[in-house]
Amino acid sequence: MAGGVSCFECPVRDRTLCRALDSKHLTEVENLRLPEQALTRGSILVTEGGPSNQYLTIKRGWVMTYSTLPDGRRQIHSFDSRGALIGRMVGAEDPSPYAVEALTDIVACALPRQQADKLFLRAPKMALELARAMNRKQEHAYELLMSVGRRTARERVAHLLLDLYRQICASLDAARPDQPIALPLTQQHIADALGLTSVHVSRTLTQLRKEGLVSLHHQRLDLLDVAALTAVASGDR
């Protein structure tokens, strides 16, 4: 075992590829994995145009995936936390079309890609979980695409906050209910995910606050009226 607790005690195991693995295969994973990675906020896990030669599982903290255009315009594709998998399968040797960056200090578990791919052939449950993980990310991207393509700014913001809230609650072990929750994003991040300007995100949030739907200050998010917010996100009112 290479740094950190054993895979058998892994606190995020049932959210990862290793879910439902028998002990023989879990031992193989344990032998394969690299020392646990601890990285600070702002670290780049994958460079745009660089390689992606590991599978990374986020054990603690938040990361984001994004691409940029030559002139600096940025699109954030996804925010990920506990249990999320980072890593390309197609053209993994080729330049990555997107970057992955730590939004907070993080801890991650790394598997070298080539050997992991071989392991997946011996552990088909892992391969199938991998497919599920990829499918989940695909569908999540479709959801965001719907927002960015067809929703108004107000609807987009409402939808994203609901989505993040759900994601955060799901990543908590104890389902802690109505406290404000930590959201390590600036309004610029929200803007870059939603295809808006940070100025307009600010205006939109101000309005939602005035209507008593959300509270968001100093990276603390609280949804004050989930039903109303859901209505806003769906285009009613």
Chain contacts with a second copy (rule: CB under 8 A)? 65, 67, 69-71, 73-75, 77, 88-90, 97-98, 117, 120-125, 127-128, 130-139, 141-146, 148-151, 192-195, 234-236
153 binds DNA per the rule CB under 7 A: yes
199 binds DNA per the rule CB under 7 A: yes
Name the minimum Å distance from CB 71 to DNA.
Answer: 10
Q: Is 12 helix (H, G, I), strand (E, B) or coil?
A: coil
Instruction: Provide the strand spans (E) within the chain.
Output: 37-39, 44-46, 54-60, 63-68, 74-80, 85-86, 99-102, 106-112, 181-182, 214-217, 220-223
Stretches 13-21, 122-130, 147-155, 159-167: which one binds DNA (CB under 7 A)? 147-155
Name the minimum Å distance from CB 144 to DNA.
Answer: 15
Pick what 81 binds: a second copy, DNA, none; C-beta below 5 to 8 Å, kind-dependent: none
Stretches 17-25, 91-99, 130-138, 180-188: which one binds DNA (CB under 7 A)? 180-188
Biggest CA pair distance of the chain: 56
Angle subtended by helix axes 187-194 and 198-210, to nearest 10: 110
Residue with tokens 């997946």: 120
